[in-house]
Amino acid sequence: MNRGVSWFNVTMLILGFVFLYAPIALLILFSFNAGKLVSVWSGFSTKWYGELLYNEQILQAAWVSLKIASINATAATILGTLTAFALNRFGRFRGRTLFTGMATAPLVMPDVITGLATLLLFVGIGWARGMSTITIAHITFSLAFVAVIVRARIASLDMSLEEAAMDLGARPLKTFIVIVVPLLAPALVSGWLLAFTLSLDDLVIASFVAGPGASTLPMVVFSKVRLGVSPEINALGTIIVLVVTICIVIAATVFQRQERRRAIDDQMAQRG
Amino acid sequence: MNSKSSSAPAAAPATNAITSPYIRIENVTKRFGSFVAVDNVSLDIQRNEFFALLGASGCGKSTLLRMLAGLETPTEGRILIDGQDMTHVPPYERPVNMMFQSYALFPHMTVADNVAFGLKQDRMPADQIKRRVAEMLELVQLERFATRKPHQLSGGQRQRVALARSLAKHPKLLLLDEPLAALDKKLREQTQFELMNIQEEIGITFIVVTHDQEEAMTLATRIAVMNNGVILQIGSPTEVYEFPGNRFVADFLGSINLFEGVVESIDGPLVVKTEAGPMMELEARGEVSAGQKVAVAVRPEKIAIGKERPSQSMNACHGQVVEIAYQGSVSIYRVKLDGGYMARVNAQNETRSARRVIDWDDEVWLSWEREAGVLLVDEA
Amino acid sequence: MKNGRFGISGRTLAVAAPYLWLLVFFLAPFAIVLKLSFAEPLIAQPPYSAVFEWTGGLLPRFTGNFENYAFLLSDDLYINAYLNSIQIALFSTLLCLAIGYPMAYGIARAPGAWRNALLMLVILPFWTSFLIRVYAWIGILKNNGILNNVLIGLGIIDEPLDILHNHFSVYLGIVYSYLPFMILPLYANLARMDESLLEAAADLGCRPWKTFVSVTLPLSLPGIVAGSMLVFIPAVGEFVIPELLGGPDTLMIGKILWNEFFQNRDWPVASAVAIAMLVLLVIPIVIFQHYQGKEAGDVK
Ligand SMILES: Nc1ncnc2c1ncn2[C@@H]1O[C@H](COP(=O)(O)OP(=O)(O)O)[C@@H](O)[C@H]1O
Ligand SMILES: [Mg+2]
């Protein structure tokens, strides 16, 4: 219905998107600045990308972050999916209310609290700090985000599909693997990707629970940013924006192609 | 008794099947919290029957069916299939298959894979599976669609895939939950006959759940009418229609006129004095005593409507036409009787004439045979 | 299904794994924070005193104290930071709502082909680095930053504006970073809304603005609450934005907690600050969970 969209809405949309994207556009623009200042244009250059490639510290931290992010995403997807099933499919069980609380609070809990609390636990039980502690802390909040995505998908699944599988002789575990997992696949993929980016993006929690040895990419970026702006960071930001945009555009294209195929199939079905 | 007897599909009803039914539902109750969905139901179903559970939406039909499939566990009572207690056997170990109301076709599998799914769970050799799938698709005339996905099929085709899938394992018992509800009227009628043919061809027991009385009467050899979790009457389609045992059944199957009254005489034909005035006479069935409060039920199509006063004194009422609904083959009259009761009469339109003999506001007489009335003794 | 031997153990296992994980790594830490908030800082490893002492009896003796809390109450710094955080989070939330609602509404009512593209534009920044997006603002708002350079270049101002390292830049940063969190739940709600309701209202003689106020707005309340909580709660404890965009007088509890921990190494006071913040956030978190549960198809 276009009647509902007024000039006011259109203006707000345009201004809103300018607000959201202008800083990113400027960030990208000044990553190609020849000078050291990120606010005065002094000619085109890609030298900051070159510097970035030779910055051992950043490369090292990026590698650490990628490792943590992928382990985190995988574990969080598994645990988040189990959480989603427990909450949406297992009816009432003892301690369900507490479970629901623990599975939703991390979505909004301020990072400083989570970070401090998790660190105190590791200190309390004498767990050596490092990559493992960062990963555990990340899994804990990521699983809550995965659970939200998977729950939405489960809620839209027809439960009689599972019943039909069991009726035809498939045991519960087989039903889960052969019927449920394939149907949940889109949610599992987006859950994994979300958990991956959340982990890559986290500064505060990682700062608390990281030992002296392990530094993630955001931690290194933060320490650099605190010292002042530098075009190298602009270059890094540009690369991140580029990678994310490419991933999202690919995902969207695949999704849209599927939709279109579906639409054609439906027409086919109409004709019989 | 040999409970492990072969499940040869075409086995004729054994003589001992009369004494020990194929399916026995014993005092089964199902509660969801404090809500009673199925209330102390006992029911026997014979081998090769086409049995229908009929009732309004929410009366507990599906719940009863799902307990037979093993998808719900009875709160109380037992379910026996072929002499074996199945009450706590999980669905994947029962010789029973179900066709779901939503069809529940696996969207990520082809038609052939859907049909083969149950067979694969039994670890049937691949070549046999292939043969069986082909056989089943032929049965439902979908050979050409084996490689399609469910969403590439029309509603009617999906319905057939669901049927083929649930029959593929040659279950001893097939459960069908509102199998035709999602089809449009024309297709539904056509499919009803196909379903009957298939049941005859493969000769296994079918239990169908439906809220559509016409469907139940067309398909089934016996019908159980349910309301609020309770089975009110079991019988052949003719029995439940012609001789309803209580007000609910009478009203649920088609429409009916109910005249409240008191038994006047039980010598000879039963005579009831109705509240509206006229005396009604009917064949006695069951025991009643003079002075008992009862109701006389008369189907609208059994009533004759005319302007002349009929010769009989019993089963004749005078009134005024309030409404006429022309429906093609029949016309439905609503007649306000002198006592205030609003009666319904269905009259066959036998001649083709633009002019009606009976018109709005006409004074008319309604009358019927003594055999047409049914005595109902349950409380209103 | 429910009775199969396998079913029971499988289900129990499926619940137990995430349940235990959250108990150990999410809930237990809060108990430790609470305990520590009663301890005294020590120059040791770990840097705090014991709160419970085993004296041989059945129960340990409580040897902690409330001094950390008394300290928080006695120092204006903490009280101001606390109030300041609430104020900044509250106004940022309202600003997000004021900007986000028309945007979400516009997207939800946009023609089908546009809708996905616009939604994608909202989500995209959310997937890119938060830290780097905040950093981008420093280059824009600095004294010799892009904005000041442009304004001076155009002759609109002579002196650079002081727009970094104060309340203004913190508001800007929070609204900028959290806007997608407001738009997404609002969009989900508005897109689901039955359009025939609006048509019915119009049919009954309601003018568009009146329809919006009496039909659309009340029906979108769950979206408003969910979005507002998603902005308000994390914003109260925000650290990165006040640290990078705020000035010395931009006191927020997230930053205070960080400083107590990393600079003063006073873990007990940091814990007390965390507990004080949690007390403030309990009610919003419960409200959020209520609406979140509804959206996620909770069995009631
Ligand atoms: N899992 C369940 N939990 C609670 N109530 C249920 C459940 N399944 C069915 N019911 C209730 O039991 C009653 C009977 O349901 P059902 O057997 O599906 O009816 P029918 O198939 O006759 O329409 C309904 O009122 C329904 O709300
Ligand atoms: Mg039903």
**Cα of B104 to ligand 1 centre, how many Å?**
18
A207: pLDDT strictly greater than 80: yes
For B152-156, B283-287, B300-304, which range has the lowest pLDDT when averaged over its residues? Answer: B283-287
Task: Give the position, in ligand 1's atom list, of the atom nearest the Cα of B59.
Answer: 22
Among A151, A173, A240, beta carbon nearest to C10:
A173
What's the confidence (pLDDT) of residue A270? 62
Domain count, chain A: 1
Task: Give the position, in ligand 1's atom list, of the atom nearest the Cα of B56.
Answer: 22
Q: Is residue A120 in some structural domain?
A: yes
Q: Which spans in C109-128 are helix H? A: 112-127
What's the confidence (pLDDT) of residue C17? 94
Output the six-digit token pair for B177: 């939950």
What's the confidence (pLDDT) of residue B181? 86
Partners of C2 on chain B (C-beta within 8 Å) are: 73
- A270 contacts chain B (CB < 8 A): yes
B12: pLDDT strictly greater than 50: no
Question: Residue ranges per domain, chain B?
Answer: 23-95+171-250, 255-376
More confident residue, B352 or B157: B157
Q: Looking at chain C, which residue has its C-alpha nearest residue A226?
A: C244
C89: pLDDT strictly greater than 90: yes
The tens digit of pLDDT for each residue in A84-95 reads 999 988 878 888
Give the ipTM. Answer: 0.89
CB B24 within 8 A of CB B54: no
What's the confidence (pLDDT) of residue B11? 40
A7 to chain B, minimum CA–CA distance in Å? 40
- C139 contacts chain A (CB < 8 A): yes
What's the confidence (pLDDT) of residue B2? 40
For A110-114, B33-37, B198-202, which range has the lowest pLDDT when averaged over its residues? Answer: B198-202
The CA distance from A229 to A239, in Å, is 17
What's the confidence (pLDDT) of residue C296? 61
Partners of C118 on chain A (C-beta within 8 Å) are: 13
Count Cβ neighbours within 10 Å for each residue of B260-295 and write b for 16 or more, e otherwise.
ebebeeeeeebbbebebebebbbeeeeebeeeeebb
Pick the CATH number of B23-95+171-250 from 3.30.70.980, 3.40.50.300, 3.30.300.30, 3.40.50.10890: 3.40.50.300
Distance from chain centroid for Cα B240: 9
What's the confidence (pLDDT) of residue A40? 76
Q: Is residue A26 in some structural domain?
A: no
Print the domain residue range for A70.
Answer: 56-234
Q: Is residue A168 in some structural domain?
A: yes
Region B85-100: mean pLDDT is 93
Whats the size of chain A, residue-wise?
A: 272
The tens digit of pLDDT for each residue in B199-244 reads 888 889 999 999 999 999 999 999 999 999 999 999 999 999 999 9
Region C262-285: mean pLDDT is 91
Give C62: exposed, middle or buried? Use CB within 10 Å, 0-12, 13-18, 19+. exposed
Best residue among B29, B36, B63, B102 to mutate for probing ligand 1's pocket (most ligand atoms within 8 Å of CB) is: B63
Region B310-328: mean pLDDT is 90
More confident residue, C95 or C148: C95
What is the bridge-based pairing of β-strands B76-81 and B304-306?
A: unpaired
What's the confidence (pLDDT) of residue C143? 84
- The residues, ordered by sequence, that sit 6+ positions from B111 with a Cβ below 8 Å of its Cβ are B137, B142, B145, B146, B147, B148, B149, B150, B153, B161
- The residues, ordered by sequence, that sit 6+ positions from B112 with a Cβ below 8 Å of its Cβ are B133, B137, B146, B147
For A58-62, A120-124, C272-276, C291-295, which range has the lowest pLDDT when averaged over its residues? Answer: C291-295
CA-proximal residue: ligand 1, atom 3 (nearest): B32
CATH number at residue A208: 1.10.3720.10
Q: Is residue A13 in some structural domain?
A: no
Task: Tell me if the bond preceding C284 is cis, omega within 30° of 0.
Answer: no
Tell me the percentage of chain B whose pLDDT exceeds 90: 64
The CA distance from A111 to A222, in Å, is 15
Query: Of A267, A184, A84, which Cα lies nearest the Cα of B108?
Result: A184
Under the banding of pLDDT at 50, 70 and 90, the label for residue C1 is: very low
Q: Counting one residue from A and one from B, how many pairs have CB atoms under 8 Å apart?
A: 73
Q: DSSP characters for B119-169?
A: HHHTT--HHHHHHHHHHHHHHTT-GGGTT--GGGS-HHHHHHHHHHHHHTT
Under the banding of pLDDT at 50, 70 and 90, the label for residue B4 is: very low
Closest ligand to C-alpha of residue B58 is 1
Q: Which structural domains are found in chain C, ordered by start?
A: 11-65 (no CATH), 75-299 (1.10.3720.10)
Output the six-digit token pair for A241: 């924006």
Under the banding of pLDDT at 50, 70 and 90, the label for residue B94 is: very high
Type of residue numbered B289 = S
Which residues of B lie inside 8 Å of A (Cβ-Cβ)? 69-71, 90-93, 96-98, 100-102, 104, 106-108, 117-118, 121-122, 149, 151-154, 157, 165-166, 169
A53: pLDDT strictly greater than 80: yes
CA-proximal residue: ligand 1, atom 14 (nearest): B60
C-beta atoms of B104 and A161 within 8 A: yes
Q: Is residue A186 in some structural domain?
A: yes
Could you tell me the fold of the domain covering B255-376? OB fold (Dihydrolipoamide Acetyltransferase, E2P) (2.40.50)
Q: Is residue A258 in some structural domain?
A: no
CB B193 within 8 A of CB B186: no
The continuous run of DSSP H or E covering A254 comes out as helix A231-271
Task: Give the position, in ligand 1's atom list, of the atom nearest the Cα of B72.
Answer: 1
Q: Could you tell me the pTM of the whole model? A: 0.82
The tens digit of pLDDT for each residue in C116-145 reads 889 888 988 888 888 999 999 998 998 888
Under the banding of pLDDT at 50, 70 and 90, the label for residue A14 is: very high
